[in-house]
Structure 1
Amino acid sequence: MNNLNKFDVIIIGAGHAGTEAAIASNNMKRKTLLITQNIHTIGQMSCNPSIGGIGKSHLVKEIDSLGGLMAKAIDYSGIQFKILNYSKGPAVRSTRAQADRNLYKKIIFNTLKKKKYITILESEVTKLIIKKYNIISGIETKNYLKFYSNSIILTVGTFLSGKIHIGFNKYNGGRENELPSNLLSKNLNYLPFRVSRLKTGTPPRIDKNTINFKILKKQYSDIPIPKFSFMGKLYKNLPQMPCYITNTNKNTHEIIQNSLINSPLYNGLIKGLGPRYCPSIEDKIIRFPNRDKHQIFLEPEGLFSNEIYPNGISTSLPINIQKKFINSINGLESAKITRPGYAIEYNFFDPRDLLLTLESKHIKGLFLAGQINGTTGYEEAAAQGLLAGINASLLNMNKEPWYPKKYYSYIGVLIDDLCNLGTKEPYRMFTSRAESRLYLREDNSDLRLTEIGYKLGLISKIHWKLFNQKKNYIYKINNYINNNFVFFKNINIKNRIYKKKYYIKELLKRPNFNYKKIIKYTNFYLKFFNSEILDQIEIQIKYNGYIKLKDIKIINKKNNNKYTILPKNVKYNKIKGLSVELIKKLKKYNPKLIEQIKTISGITPSAVKAILIYLKKKYKI
């Protein structure tokens, strides 16, 4: 062994998990080997060309707060940005952006190759080298090269025994036009892991020049354009592009319904479970028979791309059926398919075999991150990659491991769900999974996590400078509004007369007041501060009392109902707020204790709460 093939951290796979693991390891000054089958697919968006969405954007902002790359990459490459749930409270608002697919990938690759501590190698890993007592020590490639490390991260996505399905046709593949990692998969089968199969899919791509956009509804970026990164103000916006909205119809559904015998999902060819919250169009037709239409978002793949991603019609039907049902859709009557949709079935490992640091319980020094742990989505993969990169580096440095708690971050919720509850279907993040979601908001991710990231060595000098500048402004404004007041002389605001002295902080607690109104009715220096910082302070003030009360309740009630015995034959279908899928699972598993309900895959804190309220009313528990 020599220094040329000895690394502090080795990362297998360069998707969203692998790239975040590499950035974390680099930031912590670890000599890092990032090994991938194809250098040209590093950071590739293999499915939809977007980042963020409900719950997922919280993960992206937390990744950014810990020095990660995803938020910066999408701010550089985004061609449409929107805030979802804007009419609702700040806790459930989520940012989503369309990316220029090629530019996003280019930014990721160019960032990685410039990093001092990262070596990128194109090769296929076929074997893990494990010493006595189940301790990892290295890897072996297809051309029999060996590389050594006591910290190795597996981020191989859908490549383990990957099989692609289009109608009755099936062939080996990790992604379209890419070979699976069958040799590595075979090697891993000899290790003490629990292995199962999952399925995911993608829609066909459409030639944008064959779409009749004139009759479709447009959807534009929000103004001002939101950002993902807390350093986003440093980046210029690209020209923004609209998305277009259309719908399936009864004719579309009839075509699909009559072709289900050709779908590998329904003819028995696919055994693995698919993502419940992002079902194929075949699943939608079967699961929602009373609906006569399903919404489709026609999303551009880039500023100069001729392809459109039709979000909402993932399918594995034969290509002739794909063409037929696409041409039945409004605006797509003459549309041409550039690439067919397909389903992919792959191996995943039970994440309950991992510590909360994502290190294997069976093999010391081996970390797993991304879809190999049963998740779906770029954001979930990236969050795991970041955490695995941190802990692989800490292990190499002989330092104590670190992981975020579920009451303190969405990454913590993700890790706790996976490692303690496991999953039987592709796991995705939602705000409903976070019990402390009033506190775990997008807007305060940096205030929760950046100081931790700085202590771990993840934060750059400029990031740290901007963060402290923001904290200083927050301190100054809080000091001002705590000690200054506004005097109103018979001013009518929403049919209420204000005619005395009010402290600014007390006014901001009221639902009919915000800092913009205070600036309007008074003339003082708040107007000189950044609106993002003023929004942050206002949200803190409005939420503060309730968050404190809720946190106390969480702590007090955390274990109160743990071993409560459930009545026999609970009628779960009578409980409001439970999904059809969850009711089926509850009936199937027939839990005997409250604690057993919490271990069912897909259960959310809000569902548990709904069950407890029902049991209290019905059975006086």
Structure 2
Amino acid sequence: MFNEEYDVIVVGAGHAGSEAAAAAANMGSKTLLITMNLQNIAQMSCNPAMGGIAKGQIVREIDALGGYSGIVSDTSAIQFKMLNKSKGPAMWSPRVQSDRMRFAEDWRMLLEGTENLDFYQEMVSGLIVENHKVVGVKTSLGVEVRAKSVVLTNGTFLNGLIHIGDKNFGGGRAGERAATGITEQLVNLGFESGRMKTGTPPRVDGRSLDFSKMVEQPGDENPEKFSYLDITKPLTHQRSCHLTYTSEAVHDLLREGFDRSPMFNGRIKSVGPRYCPSIEDKINRFADKDRHQLFVEPEGWNTCEYYINGFSTSLPEDVQFKALRSVVGFENVKFFRPGYAIEYDYFPPTQLKHTLETKLVEGLYFAGQINGTTGYEEAASQGLMAGINACLKVQEKEAFTLQRDEAYIGVLIDDLITKGTEEPYRMFTSRAEYRTLLRQDNADFRLTPKGYGLGLASEKRLKRMEEKQSKSEAFVQFFKDTSITPDEANPVLESKNSATVKQQDKMFKLYARPNITIDDVRKFEAVENYIQANDLDNEVIEQTEIQVKYAGYIEKEKNNADKLNRLENLKIPADFDYSKLKSMSIEARQKLDKIKPVTISQASRISGVSPNDISVLLVYLGR
């Protein structure tokens, strides 16, 4: 069946694998996507949502580069919210509630419509490696497929073990078997592996819930969308989520099952996600809290299945059921399936280059939960970058990486490669030191030219971005050039309890005041005339407001980034011998030798490497 050699083989068709396959194929590589079940392409294994704090920025970045996650998030959305709107724009994060079935279907249709992409349903049980270079894969049926590069995106399937109370069984996700063979081979090749865990809550029948006792959580009044392309439209109607709470009575019922909990009785030894703990972990760690939020999320437009966000658990199913029936609104709840925990293999990401290629085996790339991350968005972004770089390597072109001041994706990958992770890694805005630059609203400005250069982003996408950028820059300049008299300005300023002006001044200065909004300045005839004459949409107007109000912060952050980026130009030879740096701490020498940073800047971010160690390194490099 497989006489030809592929350019890229992608193993696994979750969020990482789907983006990797799409990127490689769209860039011209003959690509094969192998997965254990083609019916579950891009399956939402846990919550039916995309985006959120920092994750929404990542989806926008994927879209700006020419990936598919933003488009599918829009076509399958049932609700849109811009989170953190009460804070500054660096914190604004888009999120959609998704129709789980439509999400997977839309992903599959996009992939099937992608040229250069083949599909095969089988379990990959091993790699074909020759002279430290991957040359293909082999399946559990003994089929061998040759390739110039391979991307592994195995998710939770590598030796996956599902736990429900005192029961456990092999599986990569509910109803699906685990994948075996790959971990053992990689360990034999010299890779270090570990175990992590994650969990998921019960799914319940919405017909058995009393929503009148819960707090309704509607979407935004004027919903936006993820993709910068105009092929998708904002939602015209939405489905609401609902909010309810646990109680001390619920906690007491849950505690009754702690002795049968695999998390507390030692059956689970691996580390779970710190920022998405199980309900039993929450009531144990936060014993002073008498209640916790539960978000009741619909799984789609028409299904009655609901996801109970905040009730992730591996307790016995009878304990789950009894406790959940004590939650307000859940008195008559019926389960579709209980929650469970899953343990799986991962490989510490310090074994990778910034391209996500492994250091030990040439042409082999890791993306997603195999690298110790958690979340659809984190996985998808890694898949995109791995697919891009696998393709570029085959085409013998320069690798593509993103710096920390260019994208959240750059922060994510640099954190993984440089610092590693001992618990499932999740992206937050606080992880990005340049988050004022890395906003969700300007991801297209930052990345679409790069995506176009790669052959991923279309010319139409580039032109749309350039038009938006040109219009917003011109609008900012309008405010800088246009003066306003006290007679025009003061009535508006007085209505906002803002200090009045005594002489003519530039509009930019007034608009920059924190309590003056676009609605206020539109009361000036010149502003409204400009907007109408130039047909400015909300995207351009919002972008202009941010550029006016945060000009000082943005400029300061750019200057800081430029200073630190000078260290990115100071390369460290790949064969540098750190053992000769006797005046450097032993820990620093060991860490530097293990991670082998490419630049001084990367070396400075390694845990255990001090500024003094960097000074020593600079001296030896003749700096």
The TM tier, using the shorter chain, reads 0.7 to 0.9
How far residue 81 of structure 1 moved from its aligned partner, in angstroms, is 0.8
Q: Deviations over 1:204-245 (max 9, x none)?
A: 101101001111110111021121111256335364100010
How far residue 493 of structure 1 moved from its aligned partner, in angstroms, is 4.1
**Residue in 2 that maps onto 1:580:** none
**Residue in 2 that maps onto 1:466:** 464
User: Secondary structure in 1 aligned to 2:29?
Assistant: coil
**Residue in 1 that maps onto 2:496:** 494
| Larger mean Cα displacement after TM superposition, 28-37 or 223-232 | 223-232
Does the aligned pair in 2 maintain the 1:61–1:71 contact within 8 Å?
yes
Residue number among 541, 547, 570 corresponding to 1:540 in the alignment: 547
How far residue 373 of structure 1 moved from its aligned partner, in angstroms, is 0.1
Question: Are the structure 2 counterparts of residues 208 and 3 from structure 1 closer, same or farther at C-alpha, using a change threshold of 3 Å?
Answer: closer
**Residue in 1 that maps onto 2:516:** 513
Does the aligned pair in 2 maintain the 1:316–1:342 contact within 8 Å?
yes
Does the aligned pair in 1 maintain the 2:61–2:447 contact within 8 Å?
yes
| Larger mean Cα displacement after TM superposition, 500-509 or 74-83 | 500-509
| Larger mean Cα displacement after TM superposition, 70-79 or 550-559 | 550-559
User: Secondary structure in 1 aligned to 2:275?
Assistant: coil
Q: Deviations over 1:54-110 (max 9, x none)?
A: 111111111011001111101111111111111100001111111000001100000
Q: Deviations over 1:383-438 (max 9, x none)?
A: 10000011001001000101100122100100010000000000000000000111
**Residue in 2 that maps onto 1:289:** 287
Equivalent position amino acid for 1:104 in 2: F
2:402 aligned with 1:399? no
Identity of aligned residues (%): 44
**Distance in 2 between residues matched to 1:34 and 1:169, nearest whole Å:** 33
Which residues of 2 match residues 115-130 of structure 1 at below 5 A?
115-130=114-129
2:531 aligned with 1:526? yes
Does the aligned pair in 1 maintain the 2:157–2:179 contact within 8 Å?
yes
Residue number among 440, 443, 459 corresponding to 2:441 in the alignment: 443
2:135 aligned with 1:137? yes
How far residue 271 of structure 1 moved from its aligned partner, in angstroms, is 0.9
User: Secondary structure in 2 aligned to 1:177?
Assistant: coil
How far residue 462 of structure 1 moved from its aligned partner, in angstroms, is 2.7
Q: Deviations over 1:547-590 (max 9, x none)?
A: 22234345658999xxxx9xxxxxxxxxxxxxxxxxxxxxxxxx
**Residue in 2 that maps onto 1:316:** 314
Equivalent position amino acid for 1:547 in 2: I
**Distance in 2 between residues matched to 1:3 and 1:161, nearest whole Å:** 27
User: Secondary structure in 2 aligned to 1:290?
Assistant: coil
2:267 aligned with 1:269? yes
Does the aligned pair in 1 maintain the 2:54–2:427 contact within 8 Å?
yes
Q: Deviations over 1:165-215 (max 9, x none)?
A: 001100000011111111233333322111000000000101101001111
How far residue 249 of structure 1 moved from its aligned partner, in angstroms, is 0.1
Q: Deviations over 1:110-167 (max 9, x none)?
A: 00001111111111111100111x0111111122222111211000000100000001
**Residue in 2 that maps onto 1:278:** 276
**Residue in 2 that maps onto 1:189:** 187
Q: Deviations over 1:303-354 (max 9, x none)?
A: 1111110000100011100100100100001101111100000000010000
* Gap runs ≥5 in structure 1: 566-594, 602-607, 609-621
Equivalent position amino acid for 1:389 in 2: G
Q: Deviations over 1:10-46 (max 9, x none)?
A: 1000000000111111221111101101000001000
**Distance in 2 between residues matched to 1:300 and 1:421, nearest whole Å:** 37
Question: Are the structure 2 counterparts of residues 233 and 507 from structure 1 closer, same or farther at C-alpha, using a change threshold of 3 Å?
Answer: farther
User: Secondary structure in 1 aligned to 2:148?
Assistant: coil
Question: Are the structure 2 counterparts of residues 197 and 19 from structure 1 closer, same or farther at C-alpha, using a change threshold of 3 Å?
Answer: same
User: Secondary structure in 1 aligned to 2:440?
Assistant: coil
Question: Are the structure 2 counterparts of residues 179 and 59 from structure 1 closer, same or farther at C-alpha, using a change threshold of 3 Å?
Answer: same
**Distance in 2 between residues matched to 1:232 and 1:298, nearest whole Å:** 31
**Distance in 2 between residues matched to 1:469 and 1:91, nearest whole Å:** 23
2:502 aligned with 1:504? no
How far residue 499 of structure 1 moved from its aligned partner, in angstroms, is 4.9
Which residues of 2 match residues 82-231 of structure 1 at below 5 A?
82-132=81-131, 134-231=132-229
Question: Are the structure 2 counterparts of residues 318 and 434 from structure 1 closer, same or farther at C-alpha, using a change threshold of 3 Å?
Answer: same
Question: Are the structure 2 counterparts of residues 332 and 94 from structure 1 closer, same or farther at C-alpha, using a change threshold of 3 Å?
Answer: same
**Residue in 2 that maps onto 1:11:** 10
Does the aligned pair in 1 maintain the 2:71–2:232 contact within 8 Å?
no
